[in-house]
Amino acid sequence: MVTSALRIGVLALQGDVREHAAILTSLGAETVSVRRPEQLDGLDGLVIPGGESSVIDKLSRIFGLRDPLRVAIGDGLPVYGTCAGLILLADEIEGAIDGQLTFGGLDVTVARNAFGGQVESFETELTVDGIDGEVAATFIRAPLITRVGPQARAIATLPDGGVVAVEQGNLLGTSFHPEMNGESRFHARLLDTARRRRGAAAA
């Protein structure tokens, strides 16, 4: 039986869209740049990239994407958010600008720019639950997960205990940018989740 490639969207309102698309393509997925609500139709999964969370929030409302995205997340669409994408998946934000909203779904609180500005960017190696070996992680004006609710699970922490990656059902979020290092295992994890969901729907 021939199985079609997974169709994974990359929210393309702002941020490092190209890097995520390249990794997804290298893993055999068909990628779709998502800028309009109808482009969510038929997706097996979605990546929300880094960038500026407040800008992505505003543009999602301008393009009519916010509500359809919230519905898709609520319906179980597998979604992976990096940096700003993590903020947009969080149910609560610390340090939000006036009027800033999220798509929600992750039972966490995230502090924006918790590590400072661009000059405080750094790289480190992390141990991540479910991934063999160290993960190269790049933090750029990164958020920190300050509360992990009972529905979510921390899967990576810094040496000081700060939580920087979480998982909850079909949702995955990281404070850092694995795509900046060519790290593909988080995207592979998203694809595994999407594959399971597609299989369950076909059963």
Residue 2 lies in a domain: no
Q: Is the pLDDT of residue 3 over 80?
A: no
Q: Is the pLDDT of residue 119 over 90?
A: no
The total number of structural domains in the chain stands at 1
What's the CATH number where 35 sits? 3.40.50.880
Residue 122 lies in a domain: yes
Average pLDDT of the residues in 69-90: 97
Q: Is the pLDDT of residue 29 over 80?
A: yes
Among this protein's residues, is 20 annotated catalytic? no
- Give the pLDDT score at 70: 97
Residue 1 lies in a domain: no
- pTM for the predicted model, two decimal places: 0.95
Catalytic: which of 20, 83, 167, 187? 83
Domain that holds residue 104: 7-202
- Give the pLDDT score at 125: 93
The pLDDT > 70 percentage for the chain reads: 96
Among this protein's residues, is 179 annotated catalytic? yes
Residue 149 lies in a domain: yes
Residue 137 lies in a domain: yes
Catalytic: which of 19, 179, 183, 187? 179
The pLDDT > 90 percentage for the chain reads: 83
Instruction: Report residue 115's pLDDT band, with 50, 70 and 90 as the boundaries.
Output: confident
Residue 117 lies in a domain: yes
Q: What is the DSSP string of the chain?
A: ---PPPEEEEE-SSSSHHHHHHHHHHTT-EEEEE-SGGGGTT-SEEEE--S-HHHHHHHHHHTT-HHHHHHHHHTT--EEEETHHHHHHEEEEESPPTT------EEEEEETTTT-SGGG-EEEEE--TT--S-EEEEESS--EEEEE-TT-EEEEE-TT--EEEEEETTEEEESS-GGGGT--HHHHHHHHHHHHHHHHHH-
Average pLDDT, the chain: 93
Catalytic: which of 19, 20, 167, 177? 177
- Using one digit for the tens of pLDDT, what is the confidence trace for 32-63? 999 999 999 999 999 999 989 999 999 999 99
- Give the pLDDT score at 2: 41
